[in-house]
Chains A and B, each alone.
Chain A
Amino acid sequence: MTDTKVTRRNAIKGVIAAGAVSSAGYLFRTNTVMGQSSAPGSVERLITLEVNGTTRRVDVMKQETLAMTLRYKLGLTGTKLGCDRAECGACTVLIDDVPHYSCSVLTHTARGKKIQTVEGLASADGKLHPVQQGVVEEQGFQCAFCMSGFLMATVGFLKTNPNPTRQEMAHGVSGNLCRCQDYDKILTALMRGAELSRSA
């Protein structure tokens, strides 16, 4: 590990753009950390992200993951941290319509891509996405900590297989854990969501 002296640096260049939460606590607010100056050819701290259809400019540390950026800098706490190690799916978001574990994506890698979180599922007028509607109708999920991850995994999966069997749906969301173990009811709800998506 490179031995550097930690020094206090002056103000961060660039600030959270409009639409973000207030001066909420930042996970990585300070830059009193070594390596945060930009070496020539390396990435810049200030990047543009497209999240739920809106373009946002965010100051992002190089080692920052998309989950942390969403939750701590963009006020989008619907995406949850269950393990931070790609083993539970609670942090699942869509990147270019494909489900990813946002805890295991560097925000810098998501730059220029279309990011969608659970907050972006309902339409602007508040109408629920068909998959959300399916959950409401079938009372899926209990503590619901895993729910947003399952919803995003399902929405992404349905784009590749809009008419799955129950077994195929189970495989489609197999990368999502539920500790309330509500799997059967969750599957029923997601299948209803798939049905509603087809007729939407």
Chain B
Amino acid sequence: MAVIRDVMPAFELFQPATIDDALNLLDKHGSEAWVMAGGLDSFDWLKDRIKRPSVVVDLSQIKELTGVKEWNGGIEIGAMTTLTDVVRNPIVKEKFSILATGAESAASPQIRNQGTIGGNVSQDTRCWYYRSGWKCYRAGGNTCFADTPTAINREHAIMGASRCVAVNPSDSAPALIALDAKMVIRNKSGERVVDAENYFIGPALDIRRMTVLLPGDLLVAIRIPSTWAGAKFYFEKVRDRPVWDFPLVNIAAAMKVNGDNIESIRMAVNGVAAHPVRLTAVEASLVGKPRNAASADAAGQLAIQGAEPLRHNGYKVPLLRNLVKRAIRGVEEAKWA
């Protein structure tokens, strides 16, 4: 059939008012149901007529999914809380500011007013072959268009490739991993809690999806323990334009120091693999080390071990290395004459 990339196809629309109503709908419609949070990721697929769910379950009316509340000394953020509300939340700003920085770097003001933290962490990859509707592995086909000698793969992965070289584009994800966040997932059978770094999966596990969510699952909340409240934070997003653009590479680190030494550190990067990568080896190597350029350099070198750049994304190797260095060392303010 001929192809047209405009005009959303019709779907049945449900706007449940409670989580239970939503779960019932998801249970009833199974893989025919599309969960819509803010809608920004959804509309790209639907307007391009590439994905055609017959049922859309819009979560926007479920009040219990929004808001930030205290939880065990930390906080629990409803998955439908908008990025703007996360950025402005006083507790986030005071104790977990890295999440505010990360969330504020996403997209544009209007998108942050509508896009949700749950949507931001669960969003699909932006590989332009996949997004244009090319039938690759991730789309159910049996090839990868981005991993060929002639492909344009500037934004693709330098590690963890397994037939697919797409990357995860979320800015809040590495911040949440650095904060040791917990993802609260519910379905009809009950609730389970997953560490943030385990929420994301790579193509080796399932090439068709980016997270552990299966049909019937709903991410309902994100919990941030008090563990890293008020720690030293570093977040940086490197991208082309200062607004809208997804990260080429971003990094989030939470660090506790004891005098000049690093006591403990959690560090995650995104844009380098199909899932955010927690740099556990780097973290381990830094415990007890002085927080200086030498440690930073060594950490940077360690972070890029095993990186396998493609034709056009070799820059991500020094970029990753340098971002790791900066996360440890910090960035000096330039004082211009």
Q: A86 and B13: CB pair below 8 A?
A: no
Note all chain B residues with C-beta closer than 8 A to A85.
43-44, 47
Q: Could you tell me the distance in whole angstroms from the C-beta of B169 to the nearest C-beta in chain A?
A: 15
Q: Choose one: B25, B56, B84, B109; the contact of A174 (CB below 8 Å).
A: B109
Note all chain B residues with C-beta closer than 8 A to A173.
109
Q: Could you tell me the distance in whole angstroms from the C-beta of B58 to the nearest C-beta in chain A?
A: 6
Q: A92 and B244: CB pair below 8 A?
A: no
Q: B15 and A108: CB pair below 8 A?
A: yes
Question: B9 within 8 Å of A by Cβ?
Answer: yes
Q: Could you tell me the distance in whole angstroms from the C-beta of A169 to the nearest C-beta in chain B?
A: 12
Question: A89 within 8 Å of B by Cβ?
Answer: yes
Question: B207 within 8 Å of A by Cβ?
Answer: no
Q: A63 and B9: CB pair below 8 A?
A: yes
Stretch from B110-118, B158-166, B212-220 that touches the partner: B110-118
Q: A62 and B110: CB pair below 8 A?
A: no
Contacts A104-B114, A175-B108 hold; do A87 and B244 have CB atoms under 8 A apart?
A: yes
Q: B13 and A106: CB pair below 8 A?
A: yes
Q: B113 and A99: CB pair below 8 A?
A: yes
Question: A20 within 8 Å of B by Cβ?
Answer: no
CA distance A86 to B114 in the complex (A): 11
Q: Choose one: B10, B39, B108; the contact of A62 (CB below 8 Å).
A: B10
CA distance A99 to B12 in the complex (A): 27
CA distance A32 to B221 in the complex (A): 40
Note all chain A residues with C-beta closer than 8 A to B32.
2
Q: Considering only CB atoms, which chain A residue lies closest to B243 in the complex? A: A174
Q: B47 and A92: CB pair below 8 A?
A: no
Q: A99 and B109: CB pair below 8 A?
A: yes
Question: B40 within 8 Å of A by Cβ?
Answer: yes
Q: A86 and B109: CB pair below 8 A?
A: no
A-binding residues in B (CB < 8 A): 6, 8-15, 25, 32, 39-40, 43-44, 46-47, 52, 54, 56, 58, 60, 84, 107-111, 113-114, 242-244
Other than the given A104-B40, A175-B244, 15 more pairs (CB < 8 A) read A33-B10, A35-B12, A39-B12, A41-B14, A43-B15, A63-B13, A63-B56, A85-B43, A86-B40, A89-B110, A101-B114, A104-B39, A104-B43, A106-B13, A175-B109
Cβ contacts A to B, 29 pairs, < 8 Å: A1-B52, A33-B10, A35-B11, A35-B54, A36-B10, A43-B15, A62-B11, A62-B12, A65-B8, A65-B43, A84-B47, A85-B43, A87-B244, A89-B108, A98-B84, A98-B113, A100-B110, A100-B114, A108-B15, A108-B58, A109-B15, A109-B39, A153-B109, A153-B110, A171-B109, A172-B109, A173-B109, A175-B108, A175-B110
